[in-house]
Structure 1
Amino acid sequence: MKALIKRAGNKPISDSELSKYLDETLSRFTAGKKVQKILIVPPDFTRFYSMSGKITSMLYAKLKDSCTVNILPALGTHMPMTEKELNDMFEGIPHDRFFVHDWKNDVVKIGEVPKEFVNEVSEGLVNEKMDVEVNKMFLDKTYDLIISVGQVVPHEVVGMANYTKNIVVGIGGNNMINKSHMLGAFYGMERMMGRDHSPVRKVFDYAQEKYLSSFPLFYILTVTTQNGPSADIHALYAGNGRDAFEAGVKDSLEKNFTFLDEEPEKMVVYLDEREFKTTWVGNKAIYRTRMAIAEGGELIILAPEVKRFGEDDENDRLIRKYGYIGRENILKKVDENDDLKNNLSVAAHIIHGSSDGKFNISYAVRHMTKEEIEKANFKYLDYDETVKKYDPKKLKDGFNYVNGEKIFYISNPALGLWSSRKKFEEQ
């Protein structure tokens, strides 16, 4: 079915326009069906600015009186959402409509991506099959419709999020999560971020074509930019095929990709206290800027509510054990240590969160100690002291002068990708 696409004009898409679009989308995808039960798969709070929460709330309001609506946030390996996060992101939806995805225990294998295919798309870097696993709720045949909601935006593992990633990773299992993350890390972030047809995306496309296409699944995708405590929706895409995603990729690159003609010597990135509680999520500040910052430069991450490294207890333990030691070092550790071999997504995350000596990384925190930060291979800064100089309330996105010092400021790394033109074109 051809994608249903709506792009904003001079102003962002309004709530009334969004509501009308969702009515049209539901009409199209429920035509000729008796719909009694629906599963919605939105992202979790770490994608707050995707506006998927508002979309999910609107869908629930439109559907709740005519059918059963269950909601399964695509947690991946992230921590379950708190009651406050559910209230803030999914206004008006009772908590008993939400289910928690357990990536270790709640998944069922529905197929596999053969090692020959993985070897081909990875240019010989990886020669292992990948299991396609999904949450058991996804397989419940009493669902007449499954709606995956998410944001198209540059991404370190797959090149451009969302689409099938929301299913095979967001509500997927250990095997695909670990191996897809490592495939992306082996292939190289710089070669993938901001690009569509990456090796990881080809693996996900294989899963869609061979296994997911038989399910009553369609996608609602957004392209957004931050606007204060909320975000503006610039475009909407609904469909059950790749054309919706491809349209989103094109628009996201215009809205979410910032090319710089000058490589900043110092970048300051703020991690919203509602959205970022761990370095696992907060290290977007590193990999979304790594192609922009000057060689030998400094990245200061303002992280007022970061309290730990991993979202998962085991992942947190492994990050504390090994630290962000860079690509070559962690690949060597993978060969030598079974705990990393069995948790390749952690090894990939460590690669993503390391500068490989190209620039210095300082974490300004309130809730972690100097010892914890430095043991993880970052420089430690006291948050309250640091913001006296670099005050997020006074800085604007882009270049600023602070006491005569030229810095580049980013208020939310989750919504974009920054690169010098030279570095992007070299990849």
Structure 2
Amino acid sequence: GGAKYLFPGIAGPDIINFTHWLGALVTSMHTIGVKDTPTRRVIHRAADFLPIPLLCIAMVLKGHDLHGLYIGPHSEAFSAAADLSAQLNIITVDRPFNHVLSMPSTMYDDLWTAAKAMYKTEPAIADGGEVIIFAPHITEVSYTHGRLIDQVGYHVKDYFLKQWDRFKDIPGSILAHSTHVKGSGTYDLATNTETPRIQVTLATSIPAERCRRINLGYLDYRDINPQTWQGREQEGILVVPHAGEILYRAKNLSNTATKGPHRSISGGASTS
């Protein structure tokens, strides 16, 4: 919140693309849920150029309940609200999970908007683990940007950086979305080998062929019974209903790019 409603909020495409790509360079895991980031500093610096006073009204919610209201200069109101929000909307777990069934609500009608189901669970997933985005209602990657995403696919950031001449004309917001969804990892240009830290699998109504084309895993959502996943946290399995509202973070999670074998526990084989 805060000055983000201005920059990139109602600003032009240049700063929208710049700030999103800057966040991607830092990586989602080091940006989401972190108060002081390079992206936030750019946002506050941009707000300082405005020739009029800014008053920020920052509300802190958990679900639909109001827990805090901060009114004042944008940076101060944001800072106070972020501190309280971190207490209410971040769940820290002792050990990372191997399998996460992340279930975004129907208010997210494409993968572009439902991507928070990945962003907000990635920091709680072990190296070599898997997040399955379970959303049978989703039929489209992005109603607005689908053509570009089909062209680019989903990749770790090094895939783009090491082939920059190939991707330099793609808007930064598209590349940022791509690498945020794919997650952390490495890319070896010499061998054309991409090694994501975790597996991202779609259990949606997006067809298997398209999932393969955009470089994401696929599971038939009809083969998944979410009830059989419930209450298995001690087995390294987590179900997240209304995914995207709460950030999950594991203590001392390494940020390596090691990818182990993936075995689906949902009754179907994931395809990456």
1:217-228 equivalent positions in 2, closer than 5 A: 217-226=54-63
Please tell me the residue identity of whatever aligns with 2:69.
Answer: L
Please tell me the residue identity of whatever aligns with 1:390.
Answer: P
Please tell me the residue identity of whatever aligns with 1:258.
Answer: I
1:134-153 equivalent positions in 2, closer than 5 A: none
Structure 2 residue corresponding to 1:401, chosen from 229, 232, 237:
232
Q: Name the counterpart of 2:251.
A: 421
Residues 244-284 of structure 1 show CA distances to partners (whole Å, capped at 9, x for unaligned) of: 111111101101111111111111110101x2112112111
Q: Name the counterpart of 1:360.
A: 199
Please tell me the residue identity of whatever aligns with 1:280.
Answer: W
The 8 Å contact of residues 224 and 415 in structure 1, kept in 2 or not, is answered as: no
Q: Name the counterpart of 2:119.
A: 287
The 8 Å contact of residues 330 and 350 in structure 1, kept in 2 or not, is answered as: no
The 8 Å contact of residues 269 and 409 in structure 1, kept in 2 or not, is answered as: yes
Q: Name the counterpart of 1:166.
A: 5
Structure 2 residue corresponding to 1:254, chosen from 87, 105, 109:
87
Q: Name the counterpart of 1:209.
A: 48
Q: Name the counterpart of 2:136.
A: 304
Provide the aligned length of Structure 1 versus Structure 2: 245
Secondary structure in structure 2 of the residue aligned to 1:409: strand
2:102 is equivalent to residue 269 of structure 1: yes
CA separation of 1:339 and 1:317: change in aligned 2, threshold 3 A = farther
1:322-401 equivalent positions in 2, closer than 5 A: 322-340=152-170, 343-355=171-183, 356=185, 357-366=196-205, 368-386=206-224, 389-391=225-227, 400-401=231-232
2: CA distance, partners of 1:406 / 1:295: 12
2: CA distance, partners of 1:337 / 1:415: 32
2: CA distance, partners of 1:176 / 1:369: 34
Q: Name the counterpart of 2:241.
A: 411
The 8 Å contact of residues 310 and 316 in structure 1, kept in 2 or not, is answered as: yes
Deviation at 1:311, TM superposition (A): 4.4
Q: Which structure's CA Rg is the greater one?
A: 1
Q: Name the counterpart of 2:37.
A: 198
1: CA distance, partners of 2:127 / 2:200: 12
1: CA distance, partners of 2:142 / 2:164: 18
Secondary structure in structure 2 of the residue aligned to 1:415: coil
Q: Name the counterpart of 1:58.
A: none
1: CA distance, partners of 2:120 / 2:56: 25
Structure 2 residue corresponding to 1:178, chosen from 6, 9, 17:
17
Residues 136-189 of structure 1 show CA distances to partners (whole Å, capped at 9, x for unaligned) of: xxxxxxxxxxxxxxxxxxxxxxxxxx1111112221210011011111112233
Structure 1 residue corresponding to 2:76, chosen from 238, 243, 249:
243
The 8 Å contact of residues 266 and 297 in structure 1, kept in 2 or not, is answered as: yes
Larger RCO (CA under 8 A, 6+ residues apart): 2
Deviation at 1:335, TM superposition (A): 2.3
Tell me the TM-score normalised to structure 1 length: 0.53
Residues 19-69 of structure 1 show CA distances to partners (whole Å, capped at 9, x for unaligned) of: xxxxxxxxxxxxxxxxxxxxxxxxxxxxxxxxxxxxxxxxxxxxxxxxxxx
Residues 173-216 of structure 1 show CA distances to partners (whole Å, capped at 9, x for unaligned) of: 100110111111122333332222211111111111221x505x
CA separation of 1:371 and 1:258: change in aligned 2, threshold 3 A = same
Secondary structure in structure 2 of the residue aligned to 1:247: helix
Q: Following superposition, which runs of at least 4 residues in structure 1 exceed 4 angstroms of deviation?
A: none
Structure 2: gaps of 5 or more residues: 186-195, 257-272
Residues 82-111 of structure 1 show CA distances to partners (whole Å, capped at 9, x for unaligned) of: xxxxxxxxxxxxxxxxxxxxxxxxxxxxxx
Q: Name the counterpart of 2:264.
A: none
1: CA distance, partners of 2:255 / 2:174: 29
CA separation of 1:171 and 1:291: change in aligned 2, threshold 3 A = same
Please tell me the residue identity of whatever aligns with 2:103.
Answer: Y
Tell me the TM-score normalised to structure 2 length: 0.82
2: CA distance, partners of 1:317 / 1:272: 24
Deviation at 1:384, TM superposition (A): 3.0
CA separation of 1:334 and 1:412: change in aligned 2, threshold 3 A = farther
2: CA distance, partners of 1:293 / 1:200: 24
1: CA distance, partners of 2:16 / 2:163: 19
CA separation of 1:206 and 1:361: change in aligned 2, threshold 3 A = same
